[in-house]
Amino acid sequence: MITEIVGITAIVVAAMLGSPAQASIEQQRQLFHDASYALETNQISKFNRLLKQLDDYPAQAYLEYDAFRRNISRLKPQQVELFLQRYADYPFAYHARGSWLDILARRGDWEGYLKYFDDRANTRLQCISFQARLKLGQLDGLNEEISRIWLRGYSQPPQCDAAFSYYLDSQGDPEQVIWARIEKAFKARRPALALYLGKKLDAQSRATVESWYRAHKRPEQSLKQLTESEDNERTRDIIVHAIDRLARKNSLRALEAWNQISDQFAFTPEHKAQVQLRIALSAALQHESEARDLLSGLDAEAMNDQAYLWLARIQLRGRDWSGLLNTINRMPAHLYEENEWQYWLSRSMEAEGQLSGSLTLLEQLSGKSSYYGFLAADKLKREYLIEQENAASTGVDEDAFLAENPHMLRARELFFLDRLVDAKREWFQALRYLDQDQIKQAATLASRWQWHDSAIRTVAKTKHRSDYSLRFPMPYKQQVLENAQARELDPSLIYGVMRRESLFDPLARSSVGALGLMQLMPSTARRVASSLGMKRPRKSDILSVENNIRFGTQYLRNVMNRFDNNVALAAAAYNAGPGNVKKWLPREQTMSADLWVETVPFKETRNYVQAVLAYSTVFDRSLGKDTLMSSRMNDIKPRY
């Protein structure tokens, strides 16, 4: 233990000294790995020796940070101060400071805590700062700061309890602020929090909260009981909440209940608009035939973006071109001007015989290299506008560029050291200091290093959209082509899925647990592996590029088989599952693919299918194919 403390002190001091001659970059990277391993295995003397050999290496500080984290609980304040000052410009400084704040809180060093607290937007650490101020009697403005956290409709960390107690004790009317949070809790669908807060109120108020809780949990039964309640503000709020909850489960029962109760209470116009909007939107989501009339019957003041979009899609699904034309023309400008609704405005105008206006809109869209641009070009029988232009107008001098951008230099090294989280933090911190031309050059460098996801995200920060080699690279080409041939799949489609799923990041992990290039859920990958006669894969196996492409393409083949090789349906199934796609099929008539895609109820899936179709079209050009996007958009049948 003593050796380790001496070691970290030596690290901080050694960083201030001169450095030996720089080794080659490859040698330095290997030394970094060796030093990291020495630290992990507690070989502190070896670690310090290797660290000194890396004094000129751009990523050396990350080894010092590793040592700092390892020993932080044993450090003295002056050692921490020196470290934080020296590396203030590094992304890890934020996390190092956070770790030190936790140490100070555990020590009860409240003066030290407030000295190092940087007003970060971290609720737990903010609440500890409130504790510190309470301990030290620094109360000016404290209640106002606490109130911003108190007035959230969801539970807060236990570190906030002391501050909340002080806040309530200092209120002239604590019941008012308790009710304010209870209302927010129910609105945020946190009924347990509301019930907990209700215990702080008197018996009559507790009974009201319990009534509201029952309305949240069992809205239909509660509405029958509420008809006998006194007409007051709380009762009306509870009824509106119950109708909202019921509508999310069964919109037509909610409509029936509302019609029975609405005249018995003095609901405000805002209440009425809120209820009518919720019932109409829920009816649309539940594919009720009444949804069109409910949405059409909303007052203009009650309409929001979702109401316009659902009404338009219902009219699309019903091929109500006249109604659609009227709805699009009533949309707020930010919706009306989107390519999506310009395309469907053109289609509705065509159906209504307004051919000149329809043609004008299609001509404007056909020059865009996008889903709607390709649809428009196909209708006009025009070639797609997919012309390669280099984002960086001149070749990028890597050494000169990185010499002026230390964050970028460190990002490159961290990328090649497989410290991808640290690499991305450095990279995107660097972008804050670059102008548009420099950002384009940075994207070019990331692509040169095969760091494709960062290249794509970086060029997206510019207005440049025509460098298809940056935005639509084709890594892992041999594996993709081999699996495409083995499974009779279009390689452009595989690339389209891969690009949408992970931006070609082989180590991508989603918030729900999907893994790798083709974002496979472990359960899906295991089923596919079993069907291929392979042993049960671990997560590390699923992240393997070779396995991920093999499993992903096999699953894509499976959903293609399930839906008769219909690409739009297969893409939707890859994203949302075959069960959902089956529910979304037209009930009676065959439907054109563009119409079906537009009326998919899940926005994520709708956008996903459109992206995969458009991306596949771009990859066609890179593969030397001249394929129409519409050729992948077969009509959608009621049954498969």
* Residue 227 belongs to a domain: no
Give just the sign of the alpha carbon dihedral 246, 252, 258, 260.
Answer: negative
Give the span between the Cα atoms of 198 and 224, in whole angstroms.
Answer: 23
Decide: helix, strand or coil at residue 591: strand
* Tens digit of each residue's pLDDT (9 = 90 or more) over 34-85: 999 999 999 999 999 999 999 999 999 999 999 999 999 999 999 999 999 9
Residue 234 belongs to some domain of the structure: no
Per the listing, tokens 């096999």 go with 554
Q: Do 504 and 618 sit in the same domain of this protein?
A: yes
Instruction: Specify whether the CB–CB gap between 312 and 285 falls below 8 A.
Output: no
* Residue where one domain finishes, among candidates 107, 140, 159: 107
Please report the pLDDT score of residue 201 as a whole number: 97
Tell me: do 43 and 76 sit in the same domain. yes
93 within 8 A of 24, measured Cβ to Cβ: no
Q: Specify if 311 maps to a domain.
A: no
Measured CA to CA, the distance from residue 520 to residue 529 in angstroms comes to 12
- Domain match, 447 and 543 both: no
Going by the DSSP 8-state scheme, the letter that residue 587 receives in this structure is S
Q: What is d(CA 226, CA 239) in angstroms, rounded to the nearest whole number?
A: 7
pTM of the model: 0.87
Is residue 353 within 8 Å of 345, Cβ to Cβ? Answer: no
The 3-state DSSP class for residue 477 equals: helix
Q: Which residues have a Cβ under 8 Å from the Cβ of 345 and sit 6 or more positions away?
A: 325, 328, 329, 336, 361
- What pLDDT, on the 0 to 100 scale, is given for residue 390? 80
When divided into structural domains, the chain yields a total of: 3
Based on the domain organization, do 532 and 433 belong to the same domain? no
Is 387 one of the annotated active-site residues of the chain? no
Nearest C-alpha neighbor of 461 from the set 391, 396, 566, 385: 391
Whether residues 455 and 484 share a domain: the answer is no
Based on the fold, state whether residues 431 and 491 are members of the same structural domain.
Answer: no
Q: What is the CATH number of the domain that holds 497?
A: 1.10.530.10
Q: Are residues 6 and 46 in the same domain?
A: yes
Residue at 559 is within a domain: yes
Please indicate, yes or no, if residue 20 is contained in any of the structural domains.
yes
| Element containing residue 138 per DSSP (H, E) | none
Contacts of residue 297, defined as CB under 8 A and 6 or more positions apart, other chains included, come to 276, 280
Q: Are residues 618 and 543 in the same domain?
A: yes
Q: How far apart are CA 15 and CA 287, in angstroms?
A: 65
Catalytic residue among 501, 546, 588, 598: 501
Is residue 271 within 8 Å of residue 236, measured between CB atoms? yes
Measured CA to CA, the distance from residue 537 to residue 518 in angstroms comes to 15
Look at residue 118 and tell me if it is in a domain. Answer: no
SS3 readout for 26-74: HHHHHHHHHHHHHHHCCCHHHHHHHHHCCCCCCCHHHHHHHHHHHHHHH
Last residue of a domain, one of 59, 86, 107: 107
Residues 450 and 487 in one domain: no
* Distance, CA of 628 to CA of 620 (rounded, Å): 9
- The residue from 465, 497, 517 where one domain ends is 465
486 shares its domain with 616: yes
- Among 76, 67, 74, 128, CA closest to 98: 128
Question: Can you give the CATH number for the domain in which 422 is found?
Answer: 1.10.1240
> What sections of 72-173 are H helices per DSSP?
77-86, 92-107, 110-116, 123-136, 142-150, 161-169
- At residue 22, the pLDDT reads 45
* pLDDT lower than 70: segments of the chain: 1-23, 392-394
Q: Determine the pLDDT at residue 273.
A: 96
pLDDT tens digits, residue range 179-209? 999 999 999 999 999 999 999 999 999 999 9
Q: Answer yes or no: do 509 and 419 share one domain.
A: no
Q: What is the pLDDT of residues 325-378, one digit of tens each?
A: 999 999 999 999 999 999 999 999 999 999 999 999 999 999 999 999 999 999
- C-alpha–C-alpha distance, residues 302 and 422, integer Å: 47
Is 287 among the domain residues?
no
Count Cβ atoms within 10 A of the Cβ of residue 26 and give its class: 0-12 exposed, 13-18 middle, 19 or more buried.
exposed
Instruction: Please give the residue range of the domain that contains residue 572.
Output: 477-632
Residue-level pLDDT at 395 = 80
* 84 occurs within a structural domain: yes
Residue 383: predicted pLDDT:
94
Distance CA 210, CA 225 (A): 13
Do the beta carbons of residue 264 and residue 243 sit within 8 Å? no
Q: Quick one: 495 and 541 in the same domain?
A: yes
